[in-house]
Every structure is written in structure tokens, then in C-alpha cells.
Amino acid sequence: MLNPDGVYLGNYRCSLMGFDLNRHWQDPSPWAHPTLHAVKQLIVQMNQDPKVSLEFYIDVHAHSTMMNGFMYGNVFEEEERVQRQAVFPRLLCQNAPDFSLSSTSFNRDVVKAGTGRRFLGGLLDDTSYCYTLEVSFYGYLTTGSTTPVPYTEDSYMKLGRNVARTFLDYYKLNNLTDENKLTTHNSGDAVPAGRQGNNAGNGKNQNGERSERRFQGVREY
């Protein structure tokens, strides 16, 4: 929670001093943006520690105009890195009926250069994945429906749980849960939720090599 003073006053974007904190990651001030400055220092220290594998950064925001939950990711020159970055949103789409893959996009807009997702995407190495998870202030549409479902506190928390489940899918740690059910794709297809993997927790296959997953369909611009 990087904006406690602003939120306490009822702001949903700006800090107490009127700064949009998600535009100052490049050079945060310890005086004007103290929370940002401290978190950036922590991430830089973790990234320099050979004992730490910093694989995911997810910044969570509310969106005032769009529906559903969706993600923003980064654009890279290496096609293989772009494809690997698409894996997590695709898995989340399978777990969360209110997550929109069609609204998920990868970009490198100049105006977003000061966001955490953009800055850390350039700072961290190619084994790290940086996203912004946006969730509508209002509601979401499920597949095949034209009637919006208003978000509630419970449905926001359910999306959070589905993000956690997606990490289990990503690292093939589903055996840690008691759920031996099927998870349903938004398209209506079903996949087993009880898969187990080797080298759990590092995203690698049984040969110690990082698994290569290729997906299409996420917009890039």
C-alpha cells in the first residue's frame, strides 16, 4: 500500500501532496514520495542479492472507465521474452471469469515511463515479469453476457484468490491445495487443476531448464 495518506483522505490516485505516485518510479524523492523511494530501494537491493530470485512484480490499481480485471505488460525486443510474459495473464484468464484477456495489453507508451511496471521492466533481468493488474471500479462482464455484474468486496477478494491460484498453476504447485476440481476457461474448455511439476517454485522443467510457453492473442502496441 504505497498511498496510505492519500487514501485516508479519500483520494484514489494522488498522495497527500497531490502526486500520482505511479509516475515517479524513475527518480522518487525521499521527501515527496517516501513510500515509493523506500520500496524502490528495497527492490534494487533484492535484485542485487544473488540469493534472491525476484521473478514477479504486480502493481494493483483500480480503473475508472473500463470493465473487468485486466493487465498491462511491457514490450521487449526479444520475441521469446514477450511470449513468456504472456503466460501469467493467460493462466489468470483460466482461473478468473471476471478477468479480460482481450483488454490485456503490452505497451511502452512514453507517458507510462514513470510507472512501476515500466521502470522495473527495464531494471530487472529477463527472468522477471512486471505487470499492472487493473480492476474496474464498477463491475465486470462474463463470457456471453451483456449485463454487467457490479463488483463487491467479496468479488474483489475472489479475484485476489484467483491471482494466488494462478501462481500455483504457474509454478505447478497445485498439489498444495485440496481442490481436485476442474477450472474452466472463459471459452468453456476445462483443464485439470491438480497438475504437479518438478523443481517446484522456480518455473523450470525436470531438466533444470526454464520452461518455454508460447501464447498468442494478447494485444501489443
Residues taking part in catalysis: 134
Q: How far apart are CA 123 and CA 72, in angstroms?
A: 17
- Joined together, the cell numbers standing for residue 201 give 517454485
Cα distances from 81 to residues 13, 54, 123, 179, 221, in angstroms, run 31, 16, 15, 32, 16
- Joined together, the cell numbers standing for residue 167 give 501462481
Q: How far apart are CA 2 and CA 15, in angstroms?
A: 9
CA torsion sign, 209 to 40 to 62 to 21? negative
- Joined together, the cell numbers standing for residue 200 give 517446484
3-state secondary structure of 132: strand
**Are 136 and 70 contacting, i.e. CB atoms less than 8 angstroms apart?**
no
Cα distances from 120 to residues 54, 103, 175, 214, in angstroms, run 11, 22, 32, 23
Question: Nearest Cα to 118, choosing from 109, 101, 88?
Answer: 109
Q: How far apart are CA 124 and CA 44, in angstroms?
A: 9
